[in-house]
Amino acid sequence: MYSFITNCALFLSTGILTTLFQQLIAYQGGSHPATLFPTFCVAIAMALVGYAKFLNAFKKNQSLPLLKQNLPEDEDHPKDETLSLNPKTSPQSRKTVARIVLLTIIDLSGNVTTIIGLVYSGSGIYQVVYSSVIVFAGVLAEKFLHKKLTKFQWIGIGLIIFGLFFSVVFSGSNTGSNSTVLFGIFMTLISAFLYAISYTFSEYLITSEQVSSPFELCSYMGKISSLLVTLYIFVVVMPNWGNLVSEPIEKKVGNPYLIFVTYLLLIFGAFFHNISYFSILETNGSVIIGIMQAIRAVLVFIFSSFFYCGIQSSQCYTFAKFFATLFVFFGTITYSAGETIYSKFIHSEI
């Protein structure tokens, strides 16, 4: 029980802080969307998750397989034979590696659009709109993973959509750059859809035992993303450092040292956020994650208003946004409760 409460507290606190960190960097002019610096930090944090798991396993004197191969159980090929990420090992491992690479590209695209949405809409609106990920994930799970949605879950989806409608309609009422905020909302919706695909694809890989655990999958996705973003930075960002990095910081009178330290904090926060996320997922399941995301949405909306309302008017906590937040929150809770009721019904039937 103590461990569960600790993980939930860590998930919420790091989720709030990483969102606020990214917004602070943006206000300092240090996160031009074309640099992909925030994306690089998140990728590094994801890659480090695997090392944390390896250290834990080393203390327990256990091994952690990277990929599992579904082979017949015999003397030459035990059922739980493990494979490395070397594509030469078998046709099955090559397919798994290809799927991980595809999943990484989808996840990376979701992260990029997330940064753009966060920069243009503000962390408050972003967090509410991003809550739509549970809607997309639910629909995709029903379509591709054959998970039947209950009436409670569909009611939850309806409440979330209704709340999102209000967040869109009233998002720019207090700012002169309504089109900018709406563009941020649009990009956030795209990122939520891409992440929903990523979640569904990840669940498929894990439940079909093509990977041994979410931790290893997260780590290898982070390593591949880090490599891709590093190549991008050297090829695109470095030759245009003045236009993409120096000038935006000077234009907003940003503090380069504050930006650098905040990026380090972002890596630190994202690392523990991933640890707590996968720990809860592994021990308590996706229902609790859905509830935590809803609570996180409410808290980010409140904290972003407290810290950034004077900087960006769309961050201010108005009655319309409070109304939208309530519907998103209760919609997510209703959706998660519907999943719990369905699970209990299935177990009672068995």
Residue with the two structure tokens 């369905």? 342
Residue 207: pLDDT band with limits 50, 70, 90: confident
| Confidence grade of residue 96 (pLDDT, cut at 50, 70, 90) | confident
How would residue 339 be classed by pLDDT, with cut points 50, 70 and 90?
A: low
> Model confidence over 107-132: pLDDT tens digits?
999 988 988 887 787 766 776 788 77
Q: What angle do CA 185, 188, 190 make, to 5 degrees?
A: 115
Are the C-beta atoms of residues 248 and 259 closer than 8 Å to each other? no
User: How far apart (Å, rounded) are the C-alpha atoms in residues 44 and 347?
Assistant: 40
DSSP state of 89: S
| Calpha distance 107→175 (Å, rounded) | 32
Report the predicted TM-score, pTM, of the whole model to 2 decimal places.
0.76
The number of folded domains in the chain is: 1
What is the tens place of the pLDDT at every residue in 285-316? 555 666 677 678 778 878 888 888 888 776 78
| Domain residue limits at 333 | 2-349
Helix (H) or strand (E) holding 346, with range, is helix 319-349
Q: Which residue has the tokens 């998660």?
A: 336
Q: Are the beta carbons of 222 and 48 closer than 8 angstroms?
A: yes
339 Cβ contact partners less than 8 Å away, ≥ 6 residues apart = 150, 153, 286, 287, 290
Buried b (16+ CB within 10 A) or exposed e, 7-24: bbebbbbbbbbbbbbbbb
* Two structure tokens written together for 170: 């009233």
Within its chain, how far is the Cα of 291 from the centroid? 15
pLDDT at position 44 is 95
Tokens of 293: 């995301």
For residues 141 and 137, what is the distance between their CA atoms, to the nearest angstrom? 6
> Is the predicted pLDDT of residue 347 greater than 60, yes or no?
no
For residues 233-261, average pLDDT:
95
pLDDT value of position 92: 57
Helix (H), strand (E) at residue 83: strand 82-83
